[in-house]
Structure 1
């Protein structure tokens, strides 16, 4: 037998739960619960960066990275151009010239793990600003070399300092573009390498073909055309470090460190530059908490770094790591 409920039972308002009971169960008052129900779900990094759009900020970012890629070519290749001049001035043998060229890469290899740790601890922007700037200072010191030993040490130091900020730069560029644009942007940076590989030989042709010689303090310090060439190439890392002072910290890094308020401020700046609208109109209102043990400080950060590194040397990644190393070795021999 079906019994129909009365209209009064159907339209009867739901029973209100006492405020005291809500507080005991949830620890929150009814007012706070209502606010939480009205607030949107926190957004992750991918949604937040996509909401900033694409515009002036992204273009300015790519313009600032051009001298960085030019510096990458000059740091690794500039010494190859000066040997025709410096060989006689410093009485270099074939072994000396090969050692100087290899020493730059030795500095890069020796600092790879250190820079990876520091970039996840100090942040992208600080590493790029100070790394590029200090690399430029070392390059200028190398340009003043008067003997083989000084040039050898400075080339190692230059590679040691330059490797970190340039590796961080690739991550920085990727983190400031939404998912569908990242692969295109990384491909675009290859054009910057091509531009550098064209202009560096032209600069060498313009300077090294001149018979310039300047003497300071009598004959104790002598600058030849190859010294001036190294001075010219050293300006690019310095310019790169200064240009990155104008760029913000990576919001991805800030989120992984639990600094969501600072990340939100960066997102709003990017949104304003790209759209021309005020930051208050940025559609994302809150961000998810991404901080974990691997982004901690000190021992926790070191432990997290090793935890991310060890899978590379285990199946199934070990064979692909070996393949990539062989490919890069082949490219360098070529």
Structure 2
């Protein structure tokens, strides 16, 4: 009996030490920078992007990336991005919706963090008399509640790839999405295009290189990165939850091991995707979905002088 107890104590201590070590700084190996020409793009005049912040929730940097501080309380963004295009507009993610309190209550208690609800996407668009007929749908980076809550307010198609559809069918973390999607049209798209900036498959939405969705699974089965290329030459990569904060890119700091085990269905694939993004970081602007700082170069829809027509 005493040997069993000693073994259990040793195992507990070892597990605790391992968990502590997983929060310490440990930069990923630096990938070779991307030196090839960037893919050709012909974004049309009048194309633009806008951020639509819908609220924030609190988390600590310690839990966001290896080396983060316990005392560093971050406001995690719940922000949608409107991509305006003459061929039809799209949203990237949908942020918090009017029923966000209900959606948060559906999560396990340990995942409910203090949050602040701003203005929903729908209300922001209505405030500027946006023509909803222009909106082709919402491309979700993945199906977790904090990216899809606002879908409940929007009667537009939800863009989904086959791998994410399979994730939604089985995952507990997709319960909010399943509830919303039961009342929404699903636009199924496939990765029918060639490799793109190191990612194996792509989907060129407008066939002009302006909006390109790439397969970047690992956080969920069908997680994606959305590349947006503007007429003025600026390029953006909306990377969803490959990392939660931009230190994942600037410090090459992945999530702590414990959080990788809890949050990612295939942590090794997340690491591969993150390294691909790190290799591109000097060539375009990277936007982790939950880093409020990453949205600073993107104008707010509420401050634009567009009437939405």
- TM-score by length of structure 2 reads 0.26
Greater gyration radius: 1
Which of the pair is proportionally richer in strand? 2
Which of the pair is proportionally richer in helix? 1
Higher relative contact order (CA 8 A, sep 6+): 1
- TM-score by length of structure 1 reads 0.25
